[in-house]
Structure 1
Amino acid sequence: MRHISSFDFGLTDFAGRFHQDWGYEGSAEELVGRLLGPETDPSVVEELRSDASLMRSRLTTEEIETLWAAGTGGNFRFGPDGAWPSGSAWLDRISEACDWWLNTYGAPDPQPELAPDLTDAVDAEITAMTASLPEPMDPGRAVAEALHRCVRACSPDLALRWSLRIAGQRRWPLERGQYERLIALGELLEYGEFIVSDVEFLVVGRESEESVWPSATTGSSICT
């Protein structure tokens, strides 16, 4: 299905709101309420609800917490001293808030799911992203294993968006060919313009790549 935003959406987009200074904006509960205002597009609410309910029903609490913690850059912790008691309880709260909003303001029209089955393709890219990571970039391979579970148990779309967000947070390096494959997957999933391109900065050697432009006066090459 085509998404209304050029940027991320659903639960992975919401995770992006929990940056280093999110506590100054209010509690976790208040950020949920702020996202789900009366003027919010129904599609935004439905995408958030769909992601939350899918993860809640098909992943373990540990897997949920692993992906959420990695996707928020470690800025949102669970437990007695954290922002919420557990990952499962957090997704329950998000789903409840979305259900209330949709019942109050109305659900969007159903959208056809036109994307082909990309499970194997996304799973292969998760392997390519994570297989050679040094231990400090994914201790115990917990994130890699949670992503593989997500792609098989939830959906290729959700797993790919988590992969992109976490790669950006943890600065996982990408090869140019892999980045181009991710772009192709994003096109098949009808992603907005910037969902995949936001991680282009991770491409190895990008800073040293030279762009060569012909000189308008001499015809010689100018390297920038």
Structure 2
Amino acid sequence: MERFTSFDFGLSALTALFHQDWIHLGGVEEVVLAHLSVGEASIADEAQQKEAAALERDVAVLAGSTLRDGQIEVLFSTATAGNYSFQGGETGRSLLERIHSTCRQWQQEYGAIPAESSPKWSSSDSMAAVRSIIGDTPMCFPDEYLRCCGSPVDELRSALDACAQSASAELAFRLLLRIHLANFIPVAESSWARYRMTAAELSLGEELLSSLDFLVN
């Protein structure tokens, strides 16, 4: 089964919009709407509806998982290269609720369809492969990120592993790829073949994988 897009999607794709200047878009809700934008069209096409469905599902499974709020915060902040910080008592789940609520409002206006699914993507074999990658892959953060945020590697691995076990292994893998891109973390040559094999098993698109080519060493 092929995905509706060969690029990133869902929550991992949304985090890319939380770049250094994201605040100029407005609040979290405005970022979600920009991500799901239909432009000047009055209706959404099927691909846009599937993107909304993927985002809604990612947020729902993560919010309903056993991850602690702090672990959700680590995942989201690291996937945005630290450009999103939790302040004023905001928690990981309260952020997810804001995203989920905005996504559902969009679906009420433009139409809701089921998120794509396949038993293969949620199989025990896929979970084992993703957890193995999370445990083994080197994560060498740039010095400037470490100076700002300290070394998040052990905590990040734990949060990604918990996501793979309790929420979605496929989401955990996409977040790992996004974390590589957001923080310019090199991908070890020894890990790259495993990344590509797992991406193929999860039916992730070629453009998503090729976006990491420049990081492979």
Work out whether the TM-score is over 0.5: yes
Please name the residue that 1:44 is paired with.
51
Does residue 197 in structure 1 map to residue 197 in structure 2?
no
- Equivalent pair of 1:183/1:197 in contact (CA under 8 Å): no
| Distance of 1:132 and 1:16 partners within structure 2 | 20
1:73 aligns with 2:78: no
Deviations 1:44-100 (A, max 9, x none): 1100000011111112210110000000010011112xxx82221110111112222
Aligned length: 201
Where does residue 3 of structure 2 map in the other structure? 3
**Worse-matched range after superposition: 94-103 or 141-150:** 94-103
- Counterpart CA distance in 2 for 1:110 and 1:141 is 32
Q: Distance in 2 between the 1:171 and 1:36 partners?
A: 26
Which structure has more relative contact order (CA 8 Å, sep 6+)? It is 2
Structure 2: stretches of 5+ with no match in the other structure? 38-42
Compute the displacement of 1:175 (Å): 2.3
Residue type of the alignment partner of 1:105: Y
Is the 8 Å Cα contact of residues 138 and 144 (structure 1) preserved in structure 2?
no
Q: Report the Cα distance in structure 2 between the residues aligned to 1:179 and 1:139, rounded to whole angstroms.
A: 22
Does structure 1 residue 156 correspond to structure 2 residue 169?
yes
Secondary structure in structure 2 of the residue aligned to 1:115: helix
Cα distance between partner residues in 2 of 1:25 and 1:104: 21
Give 3-state SS (helix, strand or coil) of 1:94's partner. helix
Q: What is the CA-CA distance between 1:196 and the residue it aligns to?
A: 2.0
- Give me the identity figure in percent: 30
Give, in whole Å, the separation in 2 of the partners of 1:132 and 1:19. Answer: 21
Q: Which whole-Å CA distance do the structure 2 matches of 1:79 and 1:73 have between them?
A: 16
* Secondary structure, counterpart of 1:160 in structure 2: helix
Asked if the contact 2:127/2:165 (under 8 Å) is kept, the reply is yes
Whole-angstrom CA distance in 2 between matches of 1:11 and 1:134 = 24
Classify 1:115/1:140 alpha carbon distance in 2 versus 1 (closer, same or farther; 3 Å). closer
Higher percent of residues as helix: 2
* 1:6 Cα offset (Å): 1.8
Q: How does 1:159-178 map to 2 (within 5 A)?
A: 159-178=172-191
Out of 40, 45, 60, the residue aligned to residue 53 of structure 1 is 60
Q: 1:85 is aligned with what amino acid? A: E
* Deviations, residues 127-164 of structure 1 (Å, cap 9, x unaligned): 12247889948436111110111111111100100111
Is 99-108 or 158-167 further displaced after alignment?
99-108
Q: Paired residue for 2:30? A: 30
Farther off after superposition, 23-32 or 129-138? 129-138
TM-score (norm 2): 0.82
Measured after TM superposition, the shift of residue 112 of structure 1 is 4.3
Question: What letter corresponds to residue 196 of structure 2 in structure 1?
Answer: I
**Contact 2:141 2:185 survives alignment (8 Å):** yes
Give ranges in structure 1 of 5+ residues lacking alignment.
205-224
Q: Letter of the 2:62 partner, please give it.
A: M
In 1, Cα distance between equivalents of 2:153 and 2:116? 39
Amino acid at match of 2:96: L
SS of residue matched to 2:64: helix
Conserved in 2, the CA contact under 8 Å of 1:179 and 1:200? no
RMSD: 2.4
Cα displacement string for residues 27-56 of structure 1 (whole angstroms, at most 9, x for unaligned residues): 222112333445361101100000011111
- Deviation digits for residues 156-194 of structure 1 (CA, Å, limit 9, x no counterpart): 100100111112223333222311111111111111112
